[in-house]
Amino acid sequence: KFTSIAMIGCGSMGGGMALLFAEDGLHVNLSDPSEKAMDAVIEKAEKSGYHGKLKKHKDYDSLCKSLSKPRLLVFSLPHGGVGDKVLEGLMPKLSKGDIILDCGNEHFANTERRQNKCKDTGICYIGCGVSGGYQAARAGPSMCPGGDESGLKEVLPLLQKVAAKDKNGKPCVGIIGKGGAGHYVKMVHNGIEHGMMSAICEAWGLMRKLGLDYEEIGDVLKEWNSSGELQGTFLVSIGADLSHKREPGDKSNPDPQQHPLVISEVLDKVVQDVTGEEGTGVWSNTEAIELHVPAFTLNVAHALRLASAYRGDRERANKMFDGGFPPSELKDVKDKKAFIEELRQATYAACLASYIQGMNIIARADQKHKWSIDYSQVWQIWRAGCIIQADYISDNILAPVLKNNPSSEDLNLIFSSVVAKDIKKTFPALRRIVAKAVETDQVVPALSASLEYFKVSTGTDLPTSFYEAELDYFGCHMFDKKGDQDARVKKPMEGKYHFEWKPATSQ
């Protein structure tokens, strides 16, 4: 249907996607404030043999005139004001039936605001999460589009051609739901991604203190990725790969083996924009809190990343605290192999916790916004190409629940029998790893939060009785009495009783 498209934004993601569309035979019209960025994409296209397929444009007029109708314009832009400005400039040049496919990491509320803005003009604005990083953008990413169904149906065949394919050759793209559902699901994908990355880096830290060198850790991760519950987990597989990478040899020293491993040179600071402009990590956690979804693992994963960014403050505090509380070497672990196996199970448990929490956020948002999310498509788009790709989890945990597109009310993964089986199996290992880590001052926020999450989510004798009593004491908050629980399952916030804990003193 489309013979030419516009690619607006030619950074690493947009540039990669421009080449991907050119490879599919489309004429790609580029627009970017940086001519250099457009030239770089055109040069790559020439080298790849897509001669004349890409053309750069200096203004929206020539860009829009060069597109066949209905026009398809793909955005790959930073979130927020940039997209608004671009849309503002484009709207007078577009007409009914044209489609904008916003492939950036945009906040779903911005997406919905733009969808409303476009509504009366007949322009269709689709919010499409794109995952897999810049290399997948070129090779075929996982794509998560949401919005108006008729517009989605028009672009779907094209997206199916370019998207990542799962092991059965099925494209990792599908119609996710209405409104901002596509960008929302991508945002939560990133929240899950951060939970998993925290758990994996914490396991890496423990293995370092166990005395494994960088490359030995790479070998362990390779094994974890090849079988068992972490099988086919993208973030584990790239961890295995990066652990062996050295600076390339140069003229003065051509042997790469003589060069340090790159990982040994990476500072412990996850670069984070702390100005409030940072995207998906902040948004997914804000959403969890606003929707009242307990997301222990995701919350602390974000906090770890954030705390790591304040390297200067940490250095200053480290001095004030006479060296802080550094983790000790795990010298007394006699059976390293058994410890590593427990660590594998613990890491899996935290990844699973991240998925459970993420799905709960999506389900709650779906109920609130009435997006009619198709969960079988969420399952499909996460099968390959994306950062949270995890084959075991996909086949064994998500497939039994999501494949039949359950209603969002029935979605809590914790009630799935396969999830229960795996949590029961891995919980003791998670507990032992966290206990050992606590004893020896290791940094394990996501692992320990996941342990707490499983205890709290399945516990019926929490210390919160005391919390509730104190609230009632000073705030007359009311409380529920033991024995009445069943009636209140559906109304968790309801309190019926108040006790005058401290009789009022007479005036």
Where in the sequence numbering do the catalytic residues fall?
186, 193
Q: Binding residues for ligand 6PG, how many (CB under 6 A)?
A: 11
Shortest Cβ 462–ligand 6PG spacing (Å): 33
Q: How far is CA 55 from CA 18, 28, 91, 502, in A?
A: 11, 6, 21, 78
Among 190, 231, 345, 377, binds ligand 6PG (CB under 6 A): 190
133 binds ligand 6PG (CB under 6 A): yes
193 binds ligand 6PG (CB under 6 A): yes
365 or 387: CB nearest ligand 6PG:
387
282 or 363: CB nearest ligand 6PG:
282
Contact track, ligand 6PG, 373-412, x by CB under 6 A: -------------xx-------------------------
279 binds ligand 6PG (CB under 6 A): yes
Give yes or no for a contact between 280 and 267, defined as CB atoms under 8 angstroms apart.
Answer: no
Q: How far is CA 342 from CA 207, 432, 436, in A?
A: 12, 8, 11
Give yes or no for a contact between 454 and 440, defined as CB atoms under 8 angstroms apart.
Answer: no
Q: DSSP character for 413?
A: G
Among 280, 285, 347, 448, binds ligand 6PG (CB under 6 A): 280
Residue 343 structure tokens: 């660590």
Q: DSSP character for 408?
A: G
Query: Which one, of 53, 104, 49, 35, lies nearest residue 76 by Cα?
Result: 104
15 binds ligand 6PG (CB under 6 A): no
- HEC readout, 160-181: HHHCCECCCCCECECCCECCCH
Within 42-109, strands assigned E span 54-57, 72-75, 99-102
Which residues inside 74-113 make contact with ligand 6PG, applying CB under 6 A? 105
Contact segment (CB under 6 A) with ligand 6PG among 70-78, 113-121, 274-282, 370-378 equals 274-282
Shortest Cβ 189–ligand 6PG spacing (Å): 6
Contact segment (CB under 6 A) with ligand 6PG among 126-134, 177-185, 317-325, 359-367 equals 126-134
Angle at which helices 336-369 and 296-309 cross, to 10°: 110
Within 365-457, strands assigned E span none
Shortest Cβ 271–ligand 6PG spacing (Å): 8
Helix (H) or strand (E) holding 31: strand 27-31
127 binds ligand 6PG (CB under 6 A): no
The phi and psi torsions of 169 (rounded to 5 degrees) equal 85, 5
Among 131, 354, 360, 426, binds ligand 6PG (CB under 6 A): 131
Shortest Cβ 132–ligand 6PG spacing (Å): 5
Residues interacting with ligand 6PG, by CB under 6 A? Answer: 105, 131-133, 190, 193, 279-281, 386-387
